[in-house]
């Protein structure tokens, strides 16, 4: 038996960063993603979202790739929202996403960060948060 523990912090936003994930939609979306991920063998440790983006801390399985897990979660959840007609108009996630590995020593810090998204975004926009992550992990943005 193989033993694998690869923790990944994932972030992606609503297409065009539209702030539509609120109240009942937020609760239903998080519940649906969790339930659907269980059926697909995706382990979500911690997850939370605010009106325009979502954060997840996942553990990759031995045969899973980041891109496939993201594709499964994003594609199925947007399809579900549209099928349930939970919003006027079409719901879409942005194409891109952010993914970074999380060391064992940082797991609790990342869990806390994800759990406190509402408080965190009272003082910092998603654009500011995104730029911080891009700089922290040495990614170059398109504008650079």
pLDDT single digits (tens) 23-66: 889 999 999 999 999 999 999 999 999 999 999 999 999 999 99
In angstroms, the CA 85 to CA 16 distance is 19
74: Cα separation from own chain's centroid: 9
With H, G, I as helix, E, B as strand and everything else as coil, classify residue 50: strand
**pLDDT at residue 140 tops 80:** no
**Would you say 106 and 136 are in contact if contact means Cβ atoms under 8 Å apart?**
no
CB atoms within 10 A of CB 85: 8
Supply the pTM of this predicted model.
0.91
Domain ranges of the chain: 6-136
The domain 6-136 is placed in CATH, from the list 3.40.50.300, 3.90.1520.10, 3.30.70.1290, 3.40.50.2000, at 3.30.70.1290
- Please give the residue that has the higher pLDDT: either 108 or 143: 108
């Amino acid at each position: 038996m193989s033993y694998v523990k690869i923790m990944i912090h994932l972030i992606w936003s609503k297409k065009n960063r539209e702030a539509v994930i609120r109240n009942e939609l937020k609760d239903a979306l998080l519940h649906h993603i969790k339930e659907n991920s269980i059926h697909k063998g995706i382990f979500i440790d911690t997850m939370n979202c605010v009106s325009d983006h979502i954060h997840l801390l996942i553990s990759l399985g031995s045969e899973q790739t980041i891109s496939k897990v993201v594709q499964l979660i994003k594609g199925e959840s947007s399809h579900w929202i549209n099928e349930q007609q939970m919003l006027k108009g079409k719901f879409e996630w942005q194409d891109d996403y952010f993914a970074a590995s999380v060391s064992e020593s940082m797991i609790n810090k990342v869990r806390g960060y994800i759990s406190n998204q509402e408080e965190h975004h009272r003082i910092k926009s998603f654009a500011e948060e995104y730029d911080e992550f891009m700089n922290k992990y040495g990614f170059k943005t398109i504008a650079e």
